Amino acid sequence: MQSGPREIVTPFRSIPLDVPEGMKHNEFFNSTENLNDLMNNNGLLINSEKLLLYRKALGHSTEFDCSIIYNTSKTILNPLGRPVRRTQVAEPVLHVWNRMNQIVIDYMLEQYPDPDEALILAGEASLDATWPLTSPGVPSIRMLHNHFVVFPKETLRKAKLADANNSNLTDGGQHSLFQAYMRDVYREFFDRALHLKILKPVSGDEARIHLTGYPQGLPSWEIQGGAAALKTVAFWQEYDAVLKGFIDFYRTFFSQVSTRNAPLLDDVYYPGQVENVLLYNNDFLKTAKKVRDHCIVDAKYANAIRWQPAFKQLIYRNDAGKLIVTISQNSIGNAITELLGVVVNRVADADAYAESEPALIARLLEVRRRLVEADLGEGIATAYWPAE
């Protein structure tokens, strides 16, 4: 079968939201009112840490699809002041977050043990105001949340090939800024900055899903010990170390784009490696000059720059059944599924969604039961399911 990105059609039932006149949908998604709807119509579980497990109403998959959001909408009304990545979350919240992640991932692996049967992924994205603030709908929901998704491989095999030139599919891959001009220094920085014991670097071939041919050009690591490693504090510390290294690289690069010969940033995580590996690397600094010079003469290009760290980081299972961690610069806003070559075309079709809904909800309620059993929250009642 030909390898290549797939485009699937996923039905959904329209969300009954009354968006105020003159307000765009993605602007409304940032509001407390929207979060009330998310909890009351799609909420599964909530805990005292403000972590909310919910069904994805506009989902990627009708097989298995849910998220956990750090719902600070009522305690931090300023959207720009909310935590939007793991490194900004208080340790007690992060501890609970990691345990919830582990239990949901463990459930997916248990229910879909065959890598030829299902593509499994779990990951999160930066929601910083990294788009130009003059763009419509910026910022969007702006609260840290992650995704848990299962795609049946048979669905992907039957799907049509996606347009390989789709800009979202090239982000973080062979056409990205990092990959095109700084591939070697990018990997050298990760190798020298991060002292990893559980995460082992793997080649692109080992990380790639053969059916889709993705991910492409991303640094990737095998989780040694598999699912059992996710039950350890050490794994989540290394998972965060990957993110911290990425943030250092991204912020340092764009500080040099913004200001020629900018000094070392005060709050980097790995100052010695930033100074020695990045600020004395000719490829790194030549590329910053290339982008800076382009910004000066091309207003449209400059306006599209995302100056703050924008990323998507995920855990997924490769063809050999190994769990892989990867991270992508997210300069053009691709969906998290597109890192693995899956383009989701959402179509409003209540009848088609209703056919899959009972089985989907049954799986989500079983995940909720396990989280409640592990003292990670209490169930929420909606029109579609009881609290217990």
DSSP line for 97-127: HHHHHHHHHHHHHHH---TTTEEEEEEEE--
Burial class (CB in 10 A: 0-12, 13-18, 19+), 105: buried
Q: How many CB atoms lie within 10 A of CB 66?
A: 22
Structure tokens at 226: 């598999």
Q: Tell me the torsion sign for CA atoms 169, 171, 176, 182.
A: negative
Q: What's the number of CA atoms in the CB half-sphere (13 Å) around residue 95?
A: 5
Helix, strand or coil, per DSSP, at residue 384: coil
Cα–Cα distance, 67 to 123 (Å, whole number)? 9
Q: In what order do the strands lie in the sheet with 342-348?
A: 160-161, 6-12, 342-348
Helix, strand or coil, per DSSP, at residue 274: helix
What's the length of the chain? Answer: 388
| pLDDT of 134 | 58
Closest Cα partner for 54 from 183, 159, 150, 147? 147
Closest Cα partner for 59 from 294, 282, 337? 337
Give the ranges where the chain is alpha helix by DSSP (H).
25-28, 32-42, 91-111, 153-158, 167-170, 177-181, 183-193, 204-207, 233-258, 271-273, 282-297, 299-304, 350-373
Helix, strand or coil, per DSSP, at residue 303: helix
Structure tokens at 217: 């050009």
| pLDDT of 32 | 65
Q: How many CB atoms lie within 10 A of CB 374?
A: 13
Cα–Cα distance, 55 to 48 (Å, whole number)? 19
pTM flag (> 0.85): yes
Q: Which residues contact 194 (CB under 8 A, 6 or more apart)?
A: 238, 241, 242, 245
Residue 100 near residue 371, CB atoms below 8 Å: yes
Measured in whole angstroms, the distance separating CA 221 from the mean position of its chain's CA atoms is 16
H or E element that contains 315: strand 311-317
Closest Cα partner for 7 from 134, 163, 143, 123? 163
Cα–Cα distance, 12 to 18 (Å, whole number)? 18
Residues β-bridged to residue 146: 68, 124
How wide is the angle at C-alpha 145 spanned by C-alphas 43 and 74, nearest 5°?
65
Q: Which residues of the chain have pLDDT under 50?
A: 139, 172-174
Structure tokens at 10: 């996923």
| pLDDT of 177 | 72
Cα–Cα distance, 91 to 107 (Å, whole number)? 24
Phi, psi of 245 (to 5 degrees): -65, -40
Structure tokens at 181: 């001009």
